[in-house]
Amino acid sequence: MSEALTLPDTGELNRRILVRLWLDVPNTGFGVDQTFDAGITLWAKVEPIRGIASRMAMATVEEPTHFFWVRFSFSMPAEYYAQNRVVEYRGRRFRIIDAQNFQDANRYVRITAKDLGAIDPAATDFASPTTGATTDAATDVYVPELGV
């Protein structure tokens, strides 16, 4: 199966994700506290990794669990999504393992991530889209505004 067949179709970037910088800050108890910046909210296609892709990752140190596809931007190229960033989606946090400008076509960035587990849902705040469209809270799916 060709890699070109796995590119997102029009309208598939319909999930809201939050990409945040992850910092470990020393605390007064001689330990570290995890802190995160405000982050950037993006539209993405979320794709769980299954089957052969999951088995192929067994040879690496960490097994990725999800792909997040986002639009390529020169202000946020694949290098922006470094390993010190996390993705928050539907109350779960994912550590970014790798990101690539898919096929060097400057169309999509594919983020490979590992599920770290559940987080406080109130900690993930999605700003409303500026287009007047909404995001269905129950399914987190983009719902375009219909003109009347």
The pLDDT tens digits along the chain (148 residues) read 444 446 888 789 999 999 999 999 999 998 999 899 999 999 999 999 975 554 555 555 678 999 999 999 999 999 999 889 999 999 999 999 999 998 888 999 999 999 999 987 555 444 444 444 555 555 555 555 545 4
Quick one: which H or E segment has residue 41? strand 40-48
| CB atoms near residue 11 (< 10 Å) | 9
The number of C-alpha atoms within 13 Å of 20 and in the hemisphere containing its C-beta is 23
Task: List the chain domain ranges.
Answer: 17-119
Distance, in Å, from the CA atom of 146 to the CA atom of 36, rounded to the nearest integer, reads 36
Cα–Cα separations (whole angstroms), residue 133 to 45, 58, 125? 17, 41, 17
Give the class (CATH, top level) of 17-119: mainly beta
Distance, in Å, from the CA atom of 116 to the CA atom of 78, rounded to the nearest integer, reads 21
